[in-house]
Structure 1
Amino acid sequence: MALLHQGLWIFLAGLAIAYGSLCWYYWAIQTRLIFFPVEEITRTPADFNLDYEDVWVESVEPGVKLHGWWIPNSASNRVLLYLHGNADNIGTNAYHAGRFYHLGFSVFLFDYRGYGQSQGEFPTEKQVYDDTDTIWDYLVNERGIAPEQIVVYGHSLGGAIGIELATKHPQISHFIIEGSFTSLRRMGDYRYPLLNILPIDLLLQNQFNSLAKVPQLKMPTLFIHGQQDTAVPSFMSEELFAAAPEPKKLWLFPPGDHSTVAPLAGEEYFKTIREFVEMPPFPIPGYYLSPSK
């Protein structure tokens, strides 16, 4: 009997050690489940016949210099700040940025630290917020762009980053959020349900709790989501929309997934954004489909 009890205690102790190790492992690697940076830039705006300027912006943090592209549009004084998602880099987003150029915006897109040519270590939630604050200050204070001229666009994780930025700058003209989520906690439930055996609320250092922040928004906000999105479910945009104050608009596109709303919707995508930001039509020949088509 004593040996049985001893064996049980050893088993329970081993189980506790294994569980504690699993908790520590998740705590240590959770940013690797959030951010997927790619350093190599394979495309630039020039590949899509867009003139652009390489821009380097010094962060307030020593050793961090952020890289971005300024795509000027002399036909308009409206500027779109483009915040990309958690994977790849600005090269992957150059074509979509061109859509906004052809809508009539000058466009600024940049990489968070650790992405593309931007310097710095692997990022955290706070650091991508800091990087975006740095770029905002650059646009307003160095380029002299009035906040009222700036439209913020955020895709996926970029939407959550944009929501944090927008809570600090109510003067933003308009805010477009595409394919984004309510919170990282809810995304964990959706993508990694088995992790709920862990005390996630105690271990989660990066929250990206957009649902708690959207009631603070002061600018017109457009939520876009493809209803075939398996990366981020469209009901999350519906929940964000419900929590956001007026003025707001929700556009759910039935055939679209996480990255195909614009190429599949074509002119409807342009029309929705034009009407939301109250911009006149621009000629956009041949710029509806994805670059592979």
Structure 2
Amino acid sequence: MTFLKWIAIVLGAGYLAGLALLYVKQRDMLFPIPTTERKAPAAAGFPEAEEHILTASDGEKVIVWHVPAKPGRPMVLFFPGNGDFLAGRVSRFKDIVADGTGLVALSYRGYAGSTGAPSEQGLLRDAAAAYAFATKRYDTRRIVVWGFSLGTGVAVAVAAEHPVGKLILEAPYTSTVDVAASLFRFVPVRLLMRDQFRSDERIARVTVPLLIMHGTNDPAISIGFGERLFALAREPKKLVRFSGGGHENLDNFGALETACEFINGGKG
């Protein structure tokens, strides 16, 4: 009995130590910053874009890349995923702006030249600064908010609180805590997770046309999360399932064409 008691104590201590480590490291896991190096658009092969440094409401300096929209064309306000950096998205950005559509793409705090350290509230402050930058230059009806992966939570928050024209969510989730709970089934993540990005609680306040795109084989964010979020959203809305699509490769399955059609007139 004494031996079993000690085994239980050791296992319990190990479990608690694991919980403590997860709690301390949770933001490193949620925000795996790929690079802190600042690279100008031209150096990244995107001379069409202008770099601007914005000041968030708490004083952090965040970078956006801006390609001015041609007269009468819409403008995409793009919020990337947690493993993205702007220079790594140049190929897609070029495709987005090829028809004269404008672009404002945000580098979150701590990412690729922006100051500070990421958190949910921090990213929402950064997004507010990017939105303010966009609305100084464009009518809100021309603004299409586009979020990818983690950025869908940021995009939903913006569209729920501010006037925009349309909303695109690529590989979205109901909340990051739902995704984490599905991965760490033996951990009380709902009690421990600080940055939960509750899109499920915000999406009903989005009243503009909505497009959700999700791959059926997404290994990072199961399509079930996107389907649940879609069910909570208001009309007009459209869900496009890309059969065989993963997380990072939806352009290979027609996501860019689907998004551009939506941007240029489709209402779901």
Tell me the TM-score normalised to structure 1 length. Answer: 0.82
If you compute each CA radius of gyration, which structure gives the higher value, 1 or 2? 1
Q: Distance in 2 between matches of 1:198 and 1:274?
A: 41
Structure 2 partner of 1:111? 107
Counterpart AA for 1:133? A
- Would the alpha carbon gap of residues 52 and 86 (structure 1) be closer, same or farther in structure 2, given more than 3 Å must change? same
Q: Which has the larger displacement, 211-220 or 43-52?
A: 43-52
Q: Distance in 1 between matches of 2:203 and 2:69?
A: 30
1:176-211 Cα distance to aligned partner (Å, 9 max, x none): 001122222221233x2xx33232221111111222
Which residues of 2 match residues 187-226 of structure 1 at below 5 A? 187-190=179-182, 192=183, 195-226=184-215
Q: Which has the larger displacement, 204-213 or 154-163?
A: 204-213
Q: Distance in 2 between matches of 1:222 and 1:21?
A: 42
Q: Distance in 2 between matches of 1:158 and 1:116?
A: 16
Aligned equivalent of 1:79, options 51, 75, 78: 75
Give the drift of 1:215: 1.8
Matched, 1:151 2:147: no
Structure 2 partner of 1:167? 160
Structure 1 partner of 2:169? 177
Residue ranges of structure 1 left out of the alignment (5+ in a row): 281-293
Q: Distance in 2 between matches of 1:163 and 1:147?
A: 15
Which residues of 2 match residues 226-245 of structure 1 at below 5 A? 226-245=215-234
Give the drift of 1:95: 1.6
Q: Distance in 2 between matches of 1:180 and 1:30?
A: 20
Matched, 1:254 2:243: yes
Residue ranges of structure 2 left out of the alignment (5+ in a row): none
Structure 2 partner of 1:277? 263
Give the drift of 1:22: 2.2
**SS state at 2:98 partner:** helix
Structure 1 partner of 2:58? 61
Counterpart AA for 1:172? V
Q: Which has the larger displacement, 16-25 or 130-139?
A: 16-25
Q: Distance in 1 between matches of 2:185 and 2:42?
A: 42
Give the drift of 1:133: 1.0
Give the drift of 1:168: 0.5
Counterpart AA for 1:128? L
Q: Distance in 1 between matches of 2:251 and 2:125?
A: 29
Counterpart AA for 1:204? M
Say whether the 8 Å CA contact 1:41–1:89 is kept in structure 2. Answer: no
Tell me the TM-score normalised to structure 2 length. Answer: 0.89
Counterpart AA for 2:228? E
Structure 2 partner of 1:29? 25
- Would the alpha carbon gap of residues 42 and 61 (structure 1) be closer, same or farther in structure 2, given more than 3 Å must change? closer
Give the drift of 1:221: 0.4
Percentage identity across paired residues of the two chains: 25
Q: Distance in 2 between matches of 1:12 and 1:203?
A: 23
Q: Distance in 1 between matches of 2:249 and 2:66?
A: 24
Counterpart AA for 1:109? A
**SS state at 2:185 partner:** helix
Counterpart AA for 1:166? A
Structure 2 partner of 1:291? none
Give the drift of 1:83: 0.5
Which residues of 2 match residues 262-273 of structure 1 at below 5 A? 262-265=251-254, 269-270=256-257, 272-273=258-259
Aligned equivalent of 2:66, options 56, 67, 70: 70
- Would the alpha carbon gap of residues 93 and 234 (structure 1) be closer, same or farther in structure 2, given more than 3 Å must change? same
**SS state at 1:81 partner:** strand
- Would the alpha carbon gap of residues 136 and 181 (structure 1) be closer, same or farther in structure 2, given more than 3 Å must change? same
Matched, 1:44 2:41: yes
